[in-house]
Amino acid sequence: MTRRAAILLGSAFVALAALAFASPRVVAADKVDPVADAKAFQNFFFQKFPNVRHEDFVNGPYSMNEDMKRQWREKEEFPPYEFALDAGKEMFATPFKNGKTYADCFPNGGIGIRQNYPYFDEKEGKVVTLELALNRCREANGEAPYSYVKDEMASLTAYMAFTSRGKPMDIKIPDDPRALAAFENGKRYFYTRRGQMNFSCASCHVQSPGERIRAEILAPALGILNAMPIYRSEWSGMGTTSRRFITCNSQTRAVPLEPQADEYRDVEYFLSYVANGLPISGPGARP
């Protein structure tokens, strides 16, 4: 028995040693390089759609052809997100019971800062999204958190996005291995196929943007979060980034995660980072 265990242990050592020798090369080949990733990601879309102006990618399916663009311009005259925007502005200005406001929780009083979210919090060691920061602000001030998917949360983020329109997405990845790991984890989530339909996020939004599923035009992944939150006719209402991820998962018959689960935070970090430089366009309207 002991001899057998020794043999097993010995072979495990040999295997480990082999791995140790092999691993430096593997690490070098698979080095996480967000700058190169973002460049390759953007170039893929710029080359696939040479006639789409770069800053137009943030308008989702409406960037994909002239007819759709016309529809978008008409929609923007009486935008369906206007109620949420007005409500969000009022909520933002209304003090909590303790007299403080949202402005006290954010840099620059929360105005014109949407392009910096999500960010990597080095104290927590995790990605912090705007939705998460808003609920933390509420809880720190003795208020109950809001639902992450719609209503008040969508109104607040609509207002914060609106005050940041046109500002280029500006996501930072600090020199911290945990930040790189979060980026890489988000990237992995984005490209992994899952659920009964066996789709990844990329199946629809990298491989097939501009194509139609039934009558609906698939949006390009590039800039898809710059428009959040969105009014979606399909939802008959507003939805946040959390809602978007959850409905994508359930529509492809995958098991959705909880809103603000680590993987959703990481995929938001990845998708936002690769859209750096493209303007914030939210709140948006989508079919």
Nearer to another protein, 111 or 248 (CB): 248
Secondary structure class of 260 (helix, strand, coil): coil
247 touches another protein (CB under 8 A): no
Binding mask 19-38 for another protein (x = CB under 8 A): --------------------
State the nearest-atom distance from the C-beta of 191 to another protein, in Å.
12
Residues near another protein (CB under 8 A), total: 13
Tokens of 201: 């996020």
Counting contacts by CB under 8 A, is residue 141 touching another protein? no
Give helix 34-48 / helix 177-191 axis angle, nearest 10°: 30
- Residue 185 to residue 173: CA distance in whole angstroms: 13
Question: Looking at beta carbons only, is 11 or 198 nearer to another protein?
Answer: 198
**Which is catalytic among the residues 105, 201, 204, 248?**
248
Contact flag: residue 140 with another protein (CB under 8 A): no
Is position 248 annotated as part of the catalytic site? yes
3-state helix, strand, coil in the chain (%, to 5): 55, 10, 35
The H helix count followed by the E strand count for the chain is 10, 7
Nearest approach in angstroms of CB 80 to another protein is: 23
Q: Whose Cβ is closer to another protein: residue 23's or residue 207's?
A: 207
The alpha carbon of residue 247 and the mean position of all alpha carbons in its chain are separated, in whole angstroms, by: 14
> Which structure tokens are listed for 24?
């430096």
Q: How far is the CB of 210 from another protein (least distance, A)?
A: 9
User: Under rule CB under 8 A, which residues in 207-246 are in contact with another protein?
Assistant: 207-208, 211-215
Tokens for 152?
Answer: 């008040």
Other Cβ atoms closer than 10 A to 241: 32
- CB atoms near residue 203 (< 10 Å): 15
- Scan residues 195-214 and list those touching another protein (CB under 8 A): 196-199, 203-204, 207-208, 211-214
Which lies closer to another protein via its Cβ, residue 144 or residue 215? 215
* 61 close to 218: Cβ distance less than 8 angstroms: yes
Task: Pull the structure tokens for residue 6.
Answer: 């020794």
Q: Which stretch binds another protein (CB under 8 A): 52-60, 89-97, 116-124, 190-198?
A: 190-198
Binding residues (CB under 8 A) for another protein: these are: 196-199, 203-204, 207-208, 211-215
Catalytic residues: 248
